[in-house]
């Protein structure tokens, strides 16, 4: 909607809790800034970036509120995400 109204994609942030694959395709194609909310989204992004590079800035949302220790949860999620991002970068 913002892009249709004339706002530049590189100055737009798309933030939604659950993004469909079709949304990710469009986000990455346009170069919009976006946050990855979970490991499933991270996998979709990794897949799509292998097919086509993007100028999108991709943030990683980590929710330390968990039934497990928040620090432990954050640490594990952060470590997994960093490893996945590095894997994607060096393919």
Q: Which two tokens stand for residue 62?
A: 């980590």
Per-residue pLDDT of 17-52, as tens digits, reads: 889 999 999 999 999 998 888 778 888 988 898 899
Integer Cα distance of 73 and 82 in angstroms: 14
Q: What is the pTM of this model?
A: 0.67
Q: Give the CA count within 13 Å in the CB-facing half-sphere of 2.
A: 13
CB of 46 closer than 8 Å to CB of 84: yes
Higher pLDDT, 69 or 62: 62
CB of 45 closer than 8 Å to CB of 24: yes
- Which DSSP string corresponds to 19-30? --HHHHHHHHHH
């Amino acid at each position: 909607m913002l892009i249709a109204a004339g706002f530049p994609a590189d100055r737009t942030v798309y933030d939604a809790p659950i993004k469909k694959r079709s949304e990710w395709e469009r986000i990455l194609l346009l170069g919009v800034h976006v946050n990855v909310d979970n490991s499933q989204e991270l996998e979709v992004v990794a897949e799509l970036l292998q097919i086509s590079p993007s100028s999108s800035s991709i943030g990683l949302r980590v929710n330390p509120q968990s039934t497990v220790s928040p620090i432990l949860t954050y640490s594990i999620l952060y470590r997994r995400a960093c490893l996945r991002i590095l894997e994607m970068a060096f393919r």
